[in-house]
Structure 1
Amino acid sequence: MRLKMINMKSIINRGAILMMGIFAFCSATAQEVIKEDVAEANVVKKIEPRKKIDGVIAVVGDYVILDSDIDKTYLEITSRGSSVEGITRCELLGKLLEDKLYAHHAIQDSIIVKDAEVNETMDQQLSYMVSQIGSMEKVVQYFKKSNEEDLKSQLFEIIKMDKLASKEQKNIVEAVEITPEEVRAFFKKIPQAELPVFGAEMEVSQIVIEPEVTQADKQKVIDKLNEFRKDILENNGSFFSKAVLYSEDTGSKSNGGFYRMNKKTPFVKEFKDVAFSLAEGEISQPFATVHGYHIIYVEKIRGADIDLRHILLVPKVNNDALKAAKEKAEKIREKIVSGAITFADAARSESDEKETKTNGGVLLNPKTQDTRFELTKMDPKLYSQVSDLKDKEVSYPILEEDELGRKKYKLITVTNRYNEHTADYSQDYIKIKELALKEKQIKAIAKWSEEKIKETYIKINGQYKDCDFANNWLKK
């Protein structure tokens, strides 16, 4: 397979696909895996050339692809409101073949995806879908499955294959590095007319002042959680119902506060410490985390995994504390405006936001991990707070409330602005380096694919032999 020069547009598009991973549930339903213990026998049986293979259009190693997989992929795309115009069956088959090739070689390379890891991801996805659609029954109907078990069974296999493919792809690209000389060479080879244009950007800093929660306010939620606990233990009350009715964790309350977790699950340390200290069937005492106060009920211990439910209550801030926080923010602003202290120094000494105070209040773009925010892609709420600020101007205290109802005051300033411009090597080195690295990763994957296609059993049947694939699946 010959690699052609990749223009800027293809680098950005294909690079985005590369870094995002190997598809989500909605774009990959109804893919079938041959079980390991019968894989070889089944593959040999199904690829016997003298027998008609009803519905099987391709085989990649231990995986088969059905003609209906393409039909269902089309259906999933349209169900999300996207257009399928111009997307051919051959193109969809090519992508399915790539996914199967990754997954097959992940197994050959002894990459392991544990069932617990798959179940955790599945539970998170289902919880999210329930929160968006309204109920598990509606989720089952939306994806046109016969029942919840059917949905979970297919989702389990899809997630497992995707995780195998994702880990294999990560193995391919993680060793790819790029030198400054390669970045410079990459930039120089781009024709002047094809240089990317970067949109207007800005750098933003903030100081956060959180109202003090009184001990009395904390005790109110502790007492409430103790009431829940007592009712459940002494009167056989329902933990599930109380979580649905009272928990302030929007991510789990509709599912009765349910989470499946292990010690690698990215929950805060205090939560994990309590969860793993409990026996099956035990309910914790109320305890605090940065999110508020919790009680945990351990429903089932599955080896290294725990099925649990929890209830979160967040202490409410009284008006006096809120007023005091605003006054403190106003005084800090006065000192900055008068020149008594810089914004950065004020952030280091006064801000209550740990993530930004050490670097002078500078915000990191969560999408790029850079300090710049492109205006057209900036969070609308943040944009509305900074759009009218002049350079170095400090906002008046801004009251902000998060999804848990916690209130805080912020001071915001724009520290730098960058107008829309054609890529400049020195000014945009980080972005150019990312593009150059993506191109090198794409080439590494292309080389890997070319080699693995040659050594992997691949069979394409019927009319799909006439497809003009980007990869040499037909081994011509």
Structure 2
Amino acid sequence: MKSINYKLLFTVIGLGISSFVAAQTDTTLVITEANAINKHQLKTDTTSKTFQRYKADGVAAVIGDYLILESDIQKMRQDVTNQGIKGITDCQLAGRMMENKLYAHHGKLDTTIVVSDLQIGSQVDQQIAHMKEQLGSVDKMLEFYRKDTEQELRETLIEINKERVLTSNMQEKVVSEVEVTPEEVRLFFDNIPADERPTFGDEVEIAQLVIKPEVPQEEVQKVIDQLNEMRNDIVNNGASFATKAVLYSQDGTSGKGGKMSIKRDDPLDKDFKQIAFSLREGEVSKPFKSQFGYHIVQVDKVRGQNLDIRHIILIPKVTNKTVEAAKQKIDSIRQNIIDGKITFDAAARRYSDEEETRGDGGKLINPKSGDTRFELTDIDPLIYDKVNNLKKGEVSIVLTDQTRTGRRFFKIITVIEKYPEHVADYAKDYTKIKQLALQKKQLKEVQRWQTEKIEETYIKINGKYRDCEFESNWLKN
């Protein structure tokens, strides 16, 4: 039997199965591109260099309903370069991109996979806000994506994000039923030669306490009054809902007049979905609140369990006064913890505005492993230095973060425990070893699924990529 390079296997598996789809979050990728644009300073004039770059663009491959352009591969090249990854060939990049498109194509065909327009719109809003923060404007991103207006850029980002969600959800479905038993975990570990067992890096357990600025009631009322005024104009004066959505709605669907299609099983805010499905065709809701803001909704058409709707969302503003009050509050809490007047655990349970962690004293759960340990390399780069320099029990300075809708909030972090780098130990690291065993099994299922779907999907590879030696049978030889 062919021997296995376990250190290489752990390097691949350590990226997580999701790395076969997308290595970064949507926002991080946009920021990476933004930084690359700043670094290379793409020009907005019509120089021969720019013209040649555009002229050279062609179709590298077709996977089902999706095209892969030469420029797409070059953007991916720029992305891996910015991450400091070396030794990746264009053939490997094309292969990775073809995998993504294969998942997206079959995700689109799978009726059980749903992409929420509302959530996609919110992600795009956050991305554009980050672009403006990083670059000062979206002008360079317009050139990067070859668009003339911010609205065209928004629509492009919506399609990119939809494809990423389809890709991710399809792959999750492929591996969703794969499980490992304790016996499989033991056999997996026992089969690793002692000199090839993985080394787990420095790890920490951390907790955070979050304070969010309050939204003044008068700001909430302003938004409700504005929505009521719009609703009255639509219902009583025949004004266009779509036009008002374009002019006023604060999300990614505004360019389409707030239009979106939803199903009862869509992963939407439950209040939003409940209101929408309670309306008759043509009816406009009264203003209501969701986790994202305040809405009015109009039902365009009822299609069985599906609705074609339009919606307008307005997000109440925090004020400088409430932001300053939140900052003073967290400063005071932090000082009380440092002075020993209250423990971090007790303070988080009493004061934190983060519902997900408040009940456990602010302790964070690692989404990769499901336990409370984080490798330092997995920690958000924005807080890495703060955590890395903290000793056990110390409290960070007050940090500023923001929600998906761009609203600022404050947090403090503490280190509960530190674990030094060590070679994998079955008893101490069972959770991680189980995850590695599971991911190895998932990888085999991914490879099986890809082999099957490549055979039944229309695929065409063009130009130099026909000479590539792909790991998967993309050329159907």
Return the TM-score normalized by structure 2. Answer: 0.64
Cα offset, 1:382, TM superposition? 3.0
Q: 1:133-161, CA deviations, whole angstroms, 9 ceiling, x for partnerless residues?
A: 979xx799759xxxx9xx99xx89x969x
Q: 1:280-299, CA deviations, whole angstroms, 9 ceiling, x for partnerless residues?
A: 33332211233332222334
* Contact 2:115–2:266 (CA under 8 A) maintained in structure 1: no
SS in 2 for 1:276: helix
- Whether 2:116 is the aligned partner of 1:114: answer no
Quote the Cα distance in structure 1 between the aligned partners of 2:274 and 2:367.
28
Q: Which residue of 1 aligns with 2:309?
A: 307
1:113 maps to amino acid:
D
Quote the Cα distance in structure 2 between the aligned partners of 1:454 and 1:246.
47
- Whether 2:7 is the aligned partner of 1:8: answer yes
Q: Measured at CA, do residues 287 and 325 of structure 1 come closer, stay the same or move farther in structure 2, by a change above 3 Å?
A: farther
* Contact 2:214–2:323 (CA under 8 A) maintained in structure 1: yes
Cα offset, 1:340, TM superposition? 4.4
Q: 1:214-273, CA deviations, whole angstroms, 9 ceiling, x for partnerless residues?
A: 4333222222222333344455555455445544x4544555544432222222211111
Q: Which residue of 1 aligns with 2:198?
A: 196
Q: Measured at CA, do residues 250 and 368 of structure 1 come closer, stay the same or move farther in structure 2, by a change above 3 Å?
A: farther
* Contact 1:12–1:435 (CA under 8 A) maintained in structure 2: no
Aligned residues: 420
SS in 2 for 1:306: strand
| Runs (5+) with no aligned partner, structure 2 | 24-28, 30-60, 132-136
SS in 2 for 1:346: helix
1:277-316 equivalent positions in 2, closer than 5 A? 277-303=278-304, 304-316=306-318
> Please, what is the CA RMSD of the aligned residues?
5.5
Quote the Cα distance in structure 1 between the aligned partners of 2:287 and 2:104.
44
* Contact 1:389–1:414 (CA under 8 A) maintained in structure 2: yes
Q: Which residue of 1 aligns with 2:360?
A: 359
Cα offset, 1:354, TM superposition? 0.9
Q: 1:287-320, CA deviations, whole angstroms, 9 ceiling, x for partnerless residues?
A: 1233332222334444413332222222424626
Return the TM-score normalized by structure 1. Answer: 0.64
Quote the Cα distance in structure 1 between the aligned partners of 2:465 and 2:414.
58
Quote the Cα distance in structure 2 between the aligned partners of 1:170 and 1:212.
37
* Contact 2:330–2:398 (CA under 8 A) maintained in structure 1: no
Identity of aligned residues (%): 40
Q: Measured at CA, do residues 400 and 473 of structure 1 come closer, stay the same or move farther in structure 2, by a change above 3 Å?
A: closer
SS in 2 for 1:285: coil
Quote the Cα distance in structure 1 between the aligned partners of 2:16 and 2:283.
44
Q: 1:387-413, CA deviations, whole angstroms, 9 ceiling, x for partnerless residues?
A: 543321234555554354545443321
Quote the Cα distance in structure 1 between the aligned partners of 2:230 and 2:346.
45
Q: Measured at CA, do residues 165 and 8 of structure 1 come closer, stay the same or move farther in structure 2, by a change above 3 Å?
A: same
Quote the Cα distance in structure 2 between the aligned partners of 1:399 and 1:75.
36
- Aligned with residue 77 of structure 1, among 73, 76, 79: 73
Q: Which residue of 1 aligns with 2:430?
A: 429
Q: Which residue of 2 aligns with 1:180?
A: 182
Q: Measured at CA, do residues 239 and 345 of structure 1 come closer, stay the same or move farther in structure 2, by a change above 3 Å?
A: same
Quote the Cα distance in structure 1 between the aligned partners of 2:197 and 2:472.
28
* Contact 2:113–2:166 (CA under 8 A) maintained in structure 1: no
Cα offset, 1:365, TM superposition? 3.5
Cα offset, 1:362, TM superposition? 0.7
* Contact 1:291–1:314 (CA under 8 A) maintained in structure 2: no
The answer to which of 201-210 and 189-198 deviates more is 189-198
- Aligned with residue 218 of structure 1, among 206, 217, 220: 220
1:268 maps to amino acid:
D
Greater gyration radius: 1
